[in-house]
Amino acid sequence: MRGTGKLLGLAGMAMGGLLIVATPAGAHSPGQALSEQAQRDELADLLESGAELVEAGDLAEALARYQHAAGLAEDNAKIFSAIGYLQARQGNFQAAIAAFQTAIGLEPNNLAVYFGLAHAHSNLGEYEAAGNAYRQILRLQPDNQAAQLGLGAALFQTAAFEEALAIYTKLLQQDPNNLQAAESIGLILLQQGNTDAAIAALERAAILAPQASRIQLNLGIAHLKAGNMASALTAFRAAAAEEPRNADIRMQIGYLLWQQGNLDAALESYQQAARLQPDSVIAHDAIADLYFEQQEVLMTIVAHREVLEMAPDHAPGYYHLGVALEARGRRAEAIAALQRAKTLLLEQENGEDAQIVDELLQKLQSS
């Protein structure tokens, strides 16, 4: 067959949905008899043109060619692998799974197809099925590290932490420089609440990849859970240095600085986060609260009004706005804001906080 290698070699790189098959120009119509030689020629032309269409980025038409080719060679596993690959590339993961399963039925020992199948299942959130596909790879090739990592990830998603931990630990023993295994061990231990061991594992991962912001971020979270604010701040700042436009990291830094009483630096960090993520209610709410702690009452009012424009049902925002308005002597506006806060809290079945707001309301209304 001419020109098939370009695409068929990629078939295991998985991703699946069903497309209507258009009959390619020059192809025979269904039911039309062809000589054996003519059928071989048409099949070769379909595969060659399909590969060219993939290179040109026309995946839908390429898929149509390969689907037509499958009708001419129903026992060709590579064609079904290619169909699975193309379906997955277009986000049609269910159809990709069907194609990969057909390919496996024809060629049950093709590792690449199992990888494609696992990938498609993972994209649908079907982690148990993805894990089964990785297990099939390991049955055929027990030392396949990519399959071990994939199985570990699938097990993590199904909360089978002990089995996942055993897989990653074995991998790290075989390959001490395996970054994904080292990092995954840290994440599992953190998930299990084994904070000290998680920190040790994540520090090992950080040595392997000192510029990986995600590792520093998780290391910071681990230190935070251990109550070590200084180490957490150091890790978050390292993460921010590698990923300066990450608003979530800026907010983590702001929170830690706030806890340390460094209000000016905390405010600056949250303001950076708000510039990076202008619709972040968390960032804007923190800015408003920090203004209040700094007794910048007018800025508190302005900031909380901005929060409430973004989140009209944000009860704490109305409460803090009411307190700030009262501090400015704007009692009527304060009462209106507090009444709104109380209404929202009752709607949210938060009776305890609603009682706190009500007590302040009664005080204002009676004075």
CATH architecture observed for domain 1-136: Alpha Horseshoe (1.25)
- Asked if 97 contacts 83 with a C-beta cutoff of 8 angstroms, the reply is no
Copy the structure tokens of residue 156: 């993590």
Looking at residue 7, what is its pLDDT?
32
Sign of the Cα pseudo-torsion (325, 261, 226, 211, in order): positive
Q: Residue 39: which residues within 8 A CB-CB, separation 6 or more?
A: 72
Looking at residue 94, what is its pLDDT?
96
Q: What angle do CA 185, 188, 193 make, to 5 degrees?
A: 125
Q: Burial code of 232-265, b = ≥16 C-beta within 10 A, e = fewer?
A: bbbbbbbbbebbeebbbbbbbbbbbbbeeeeeee
- Asked if 91 contacts 110 with a C-beta cutoff of 8 angstroms, the reply is no
Looking at residue 113, what is its pLDDT?
94
Question: Where are the chain's structural domains?
Answer: 1-136, 313-367
Looking at residue 199, what is its pLDDT?
97
Looking at residue 52, what is its pLDDT?
73
Looking at residue 34, what is its pLDDT?
54
Looking at residue 64, what is its pLDDT?
83
Please state whether 193 falls in left (phi above 0), alpha (psi between -120 and 50) or beta: left
Q: What are the mean pLDDT values of the chain's consecutive 10-residue runs (367 residues total)?
A: 34 31 42 65 75 79 82 83 90 95 94 95 96 96 94 96 96 94 96 95 95 94 94 95 95 95 96 96 95 93 95 93 93 95 95 93 88
Looking at residue 17, what is its pLDDT?
28
Distance CA 235, CA 243 (A): 12
Amino acid code (one letter) for 253: I
Taking each helix axis as running N to C, give the angle between helix 247-259 and helix 229-242, from 0 to 180 degrees, rounded to the nearest 10: 150
Looking at residue 108, what is its pLDDT?
94
